Structure 1
Amino acid sequence: MSAVRFIGLRFARMVLVFVATTMLVFSLSLLIPGDIAVTLAGDNADPATVALIRAELGLDRPWLVQYLSWFGQLLTGDLGTSFVYRTPVAELIATRFPATFSIAMFAVLIAVLSGVLLGMVAAAHRGGPLDRVTTVLSTLGIVAPSFWIGMILILLLAFAIPIFPAVGYTSFADDPVDWLGHITLPAVTLSLAVGAELQRYTRSSVSEVLSQDYIRTARSQGLSRRRVLWTRALKNAAQPIVTIIGLNIAGMLGGSVVVEKVFNIPGLGSLAINSIFSKDLPVLQGIVLVTTVIVIVVNFLTDILYTVLNPKVRVS
């Protein structure tokens, strides 16, 4: 299969997944208990007032008509208007997205660097003390709850040794140094579980590659152990590592909800929680949709990257 056809098929699949996602996201209205019109009108409102609010919000129309109208607005970039804030959802998300995105991407960077490096070290010293130490560290990183890790980091690095701010957020545009200080502890907290998983997959994949005949041939040709490890073994073991990175970007965005609460970060997580309690359906739909679209795009890019690492993937 040619590269162009492969990319075209993956793109078509991405579009289909996007359409299916919009249907699921819009169906959130069926899962939220109660009537948003009653919530906005107040418990003591008369039925006429409630009916008027339902008509203003378009909730009196059939579900399919509501969905098609919403989907048409969506294609123009209009995510609707918040029931509670009376503000366009796109503006609300735009103000909160930078905090969540900064933490998630910094967490991905930390997880990739630490996970791949420790995994390479463990594979190069398989069965030795370094391998056992990194295995213990990865186990702790996987089993420890993120909120517990966050609180420990606050106690150690914000109070006992005041290196980083304990809570809050500063935008990059206002103060880049302060921005970095505020996102470091949340990003480290968010990265530990993913970094630990990456360490295990890197160790397993690289160890398997190191046992192959062509690696022994490279060593017999005079290539140093370090060069064989980083230029031959890592390249051939990269595909499962890329898979884990792509899959866990979604986990980073979802896991930021807990981290944002611990560090009092005004991101998408706190906005989503507030929208659930206030039954602000357009905001909740917008957040879920934006997050899902990011995951779909990341998976698409991961598929494209597969063709670079292993052209045989195009056959599937």
Structure 2
Amino acid sequence: MTATPAAAAAESRTVGKRRTHPKLTLGALRFIGLRFGRMVLVFVMATLLVFSLASLVPGDPAIALAGEDADPATVALIRSELGLDRPWAVQYLSWLGGLLTGDLGDSLIYRAPVTELIADRFPASLSLAVTAMTLAVIGGVLLGMLAAAFRGRIADRVTTVLSTLGIVTPNFWVGMILILLFSFAIPLFPAVGYTDFTEDPVDWLAHIIMPAIALALAVGAELQRQTRSSVSDVLTQDYIRTARAQGLSRGRVLWTRGLKNGSMPVVTVIGYQMAGLLGGSVVVEKVFNIPGLGTLAIDSVVAKDLPVLQGIVLVTTVIVIIVNFLTDVLYTVLNPKVRVS
């Protein structure tokens, strides 16, 4: 007997409900296990690369610490204290052992543990990255939905042009333009500096908004393009036409069907872009003089403070690796094609 339209609709709702509770099958667990193994392998390769690059940096840290006019005996003593006179493999294993226990060594310039320096600067970088991602998600998804709803029309063309400009425009250039406009021409926000959120939330927002916009522009543009593509594909499916035929409004279909079913690629892009924001805000932090990891990294390069530079590069690399792994896990949970038995 042929099912009635009401029965077919009920069956469709039942299937939809079953799909909203994904389960990790053997195939999904195998997928996650492979990704975890790859994450560990990438981490080991990253430690080797970071430690090896230090030997390629011109200049001798011992001489930089002792001074150009120091006598050879003093330089030799400092080199021995730093362990630079030991074989490369011994130096690496000693450094890796300290790394696994949370010891990244001591700064040659600040004379303080690298872990403490990074811990002091990390909140500012994290605050900037989270604020930028929030702005990027709100703006990118909304513009992407607008473009998908009016695909081929003027709104779609305008948002496509804006997203292209956002991707190709350097974020430091955007930052300088924002400073000229909203710090000098129209003095609304301070040009440089940073205030911790716990000290003064209003002053924090005034200092963070322009660098966050500068960072969010390219990310939001990428999210706009991904949202437009995913939602547009969903809106061409047969069940969308069925929902419209059942009397659902255009807006409800767009948000409850289009965005929900097209969100998986968008969520994946958000995960990867967040990892990039945490490690890619170096120039923007320097432009706005934000005391984050980016500013500390540039200062350590100028001062040839290798332990600090190694620590920053390694910490940001580990963050990127972990975020990418979590994104892969989320993709596994959301994608039925991966959850095979």
TM-score (norm 2): 0.88
Q: Which one of the candidate residues 161, 164, 171 is aligned to 1:136?
A: 161
Code of the residue aligned with 1:31 in structure 2: it is L
| 1:233 alignment counterpart | 258
**Where does residue 46 of structure 1 map in the other structure?**
71
Moved more, 58-67 or 130-139: 130-139
Task: Choose the corresponding residue for 1:175, options 197, 200, 220.
Answer: 200
**Residue 276 (str. 1) matches residue 301 (str. 2):** yes
Pairwise CA RMSD of aligned residues? 1.7
Q: Which amino acid aligns with 1:11?
A: F
- Aligned pair partner of 2:234 in 209, 223, 226: 209
Aligned ranges 1:97-116 → 2 under 5 Å = 97-116=122-141
2:279 and 2:317 in contact (8 A); partners too: no
TM-superposed CA distance for 1:16, in Å, is 2.3
User: C-alpha separation between the residues in 1 aligned to 2:334 and 2:29?
Assistant: 16
Shift of 1:114: 0.6
2:220 is matched with which residue? 195
Structure 2 gaps, min length 5: 1-24
For residues 1-316 of structure 1, what are the structure 2 equivalents within 5 Å?
1-2=25-26, 3-315=28-340
- Counterpart amino acid of residue 214 in structure 1: Y
The one-letter code matched in structure 2 to 1:75 is: L
Tell me if structure 1 keeps the 8 A contact 2:50–2:314.
yes
The Cα of 1:191 is off from its aligned counterpart by 0.3
Deviations 1:26-67 (A, max 9, x none): 112122112111211222222222111110000111111111
In percent, how many aligned pairs have the same letter? 76
In 2, Cα distance between the equivalents of 1:10 and 1:151? 40
The alpha-carbon deviation at position 223 of structure 1 amounts to 2.1
Amino acid at match of 1:151: M
Q: CA separation in 2, counterparts of 1:25 and 1:165?
A: 36
Amino acid in structure 2 at the alignment position of 1:194: V
Indicate the structure (1 or 2) with the bigger Cα radius of gyration: 2
The amino acid that maps onto 2:215 is L
CA distance in 2, matches of 1:16, 1:182: 39
Q: Unpaired segments of 5 or more residues in structure 1? A: none
Q: Which runs of 4+ in 1 moved over 6 A?
A: none
Q: Distance in 2 between matches of 1:300 and 1:145?
A: 28
How far has the Cα of 1:315 moved from its partner? 4.9
- Counterpart Cα distance in 1 of 2:100 and 2:172: 37
Distance across 2 between alignment mates of 1:315 and 1:158: 55
Distance 2:174 2:304 in 1: 31
Alignment check: 8 A CA contact 1:89 1:283 kept? yes
Query: Could you tell me how far 1:314 is from its partner in structure 2?
Result: 4.1
**Counterparts of 1:33 and 1:314, CA distance in 2:** 50
**Alpha-carbon offset, residue 24 of structure 1:** 1.4
Shift of 1:232: 1.6
* Separation of aligned partners in 1, 2:46 and 2:170: 29
Indicate conservation of the 8 Å contact 1:238/1:309, yes or no: no
Deviations 1:224-279 (CA, angstroms, capped at 9, x unpaired): 22122112222222222123222222332333111112111111111101111211
Post-superposition shift, 1:126? 0.8
Q: Distance in 2 between matches of 1:289 and 1:15?
A: 14
Counterpart code for 2:71: D
